Amino acid sequence: MKAYKKIIGTAFVAVCLIIVIVTFIKVKGINSSDKLVLQLAHNQSAGSEIADSIAKVSDFAAKESGDEVNIKIFASGVLGTEKEEIEMVKAGIIDMAKVSSNTLGQFDDRYAIFAIPYLFKNQEHYYNAMENSEAVKELFADTADEGYIAVGYYANGARNFYLKDDVPVTDTSVLSGKKIRSMPSSTSMDMIEKMGGTPVPMAASETYASLQQGVVDGAENTELALTVDGHEDLVKSYTYTEHQFSPDIFIISTKTWNKMSEKQRQSLIKALEETNDNFKSLYNGMMEDAIEHAESKGVHVYKDIDKTPFIEAVQPIHANFYNKGEAYKKLYDDIQKYAD
């Protein structure tokens, strides 16, 4: 009997020892590994210049965090449309997404400011305001209760008109009667109407077939969008109206943000800033290459036009936003402070 009790006692001690060891290993593993893996979704085509630029955020995040922050990127819209990506970020299903400010405007109307044509006077004003405006920073942080915040922007370039006809877009009469692909944004649709055209809202992925089939007579986007999506094979003119500088926005789930350490947060923000700086340093050269390619395909490029007719035509859009309320007025005024 004593021997039996001794065996039971020894077995009990052994089991307890194993439990202690396993628990220690698990706890030690948790405490010693602060690595955070974040999923980032976007809708740029994998392998494109923009997608390759965004991919660098993984390297920058690892470097800034001492390899504590790892970012896994899902490109080409494999997780859904931008609207669906935002919904997933809000729900905490995925951690991050890079989406257009126009799509974010469907969730918070203040983001519609970035769709206002000629909000920014030029590229310098655009960069200066996006990086320094306190009101923009407040907007980025103000949606935490909605399940997400913005933690950075991506410097999408100036949007310009391109048509199947070889004609420069110099005033509202040129677009009169023409169906123009529009982003599914009320501000963008209003802009095209004010500038003389008939907006046809659709996803960017539908534009090629719509141009090919005559559903639309033209579109408006950056030089790179013109060539990456193959539109240069279908259009004859590209005019530098430079009517919008619409940034893309990096958003992160509030759930994810709240569980991150301050070091991880700052590492992520710094990595996004470096990604943006890297893209900006390459941007002008990339656009020049895109235009050269478009010209080699027979696209006639019109630069240095007088934008005054369009600037005057869209002023009601500025007034409508400005008069929505104090929060809208404050955001608009603060952005304008960075024009000089």
Helix axes 49-65, 262-296, angle to 10 degrees: 160
Average pLDDT for residues 317-340, to the nearest whole number?
97
Burial class (CB in 10 A: 0-12, 13-18, 19+), 172: middle
Residues 300 and 191 in one domain: yes
* Pair 230, 81 in one domain: no
Residue 222: CATH number of its domain:
3.40.190.10
CA distances from 34 to 28, 29, 120, 208, 321 (A): 11, 9, 41, 45, 44
| C-alpha to C-alpha distance for 112 and 244, rounded to whole angstroms | 12
In a domain, 167, yes or no: yes
140 in a structural domain = yes
Do residue 128 and residue 91 come from a single domain? yes
One domain for residues 146 and 227: no
Q: What is the pLDDT of residue 34?
A: 67
Which domain does 106 fall in, by range? 34-155+246-283
**Residue 340, in any domain of the structure:** no
Cβ atoms of 120 and 307 within 8 Å: the answer is no
In a domain, 337, yes or no: no
The answer to the question of residue 336 being in a domain is no
The pLDDT score that the predictor gives to residue 77 is 94
CATH number at residue 76: 3.40.190.170
Please say if the pLDDT value at position 8 is more than 80. Answer: no
Residue 202 shares a structural domain with residue 54:
no
Chain segment 21-40, per-residue pLDDT in tens:
333 333 333 333 469 999 99
Q: Are residues 125 and 58 in the same domain?
A: yes
Q: Are residues 223 and 277 in the same domain?
A: no
In a domain, 323, yes or no: no
The span from the CA of 256 to the CA of 36, in Å, is 10
**Across the chain, what does the average pLDDT equal?**
90
Q: How far apart are CA 225 and CA 292, in angstroms?
A: 14
Same domain for 148 and 235, yes or no, is: no
The pLDDT score that the predictor gives to residue 19 is 36
Same domain? For 107 and 199 the reply is no
Q: 166 and 296: one domain?
A: yes
Same domain flag for 201 and 83: no
Q: Total structural domains in the chain? A: 2
Q: Is residue 221 part of a domain?
A: yes
Kindly tell me if the per-residue pLDDT of 178 is higher than 70. Answer: yes
Confidence (pTM): 0.85
Give the helix ranges, DSSP H, for the chain: 2-32, 49-65, 82-91, 101-104, 123-132, 134-141, 172-175, 186-194, 207-213, 223-228, 254-259, 262-296, 308-313, 315-322, 326-336
Partners of residue 301 on adjacent β-strands: 238
Same domain flag for 135 and 171: no
